Amino acid sequence: MAPRFLPLTEVAEILNISSAQAYALVRSGDLPAIKVGGRGQWRVEVTELENYIQRMYAETRAHVARGSLEESTSDA
């Protein structure tokens, strides 16, 4: 059975970003998450991560449709 919740380290790995960037997504509210345990570790529900990814695809499509997608040299 696949886990329902993922730690931020796994979220970061899936999105190919740093743990700090994953934490920033959670803190900003862009990626819904919960704090669990006595030490308050963040967990992201798999469905919320998938929803976030789909929202980012939709936003990218909208940018492309408006012709406002800028090339990023950092991904080259």
What domains are defined for the chain?
A: 5-66 (1.10.1660)
Count other Cβ atoms within 10 Å, centred on residue 26: 19
pTM, two decimal places: 0.82
Please report the pLDDT score of residue 26 as a whole number: 98
The per-residue pLDDT for range 19-61, each reduced to its tens digit, is: 999 999 999 999 999 999 989 899 999 999 999 999 999 999 9
Q: Give CA separation, 35 vs 7, 25, 40, 75, in Å.
A: 10, 14, 5, 32
Which of these, 48, 19, 18, lies nearest to 33 by C-alpha position?
48
Please report the pLDDT score of residue 73 as a whole number: 45
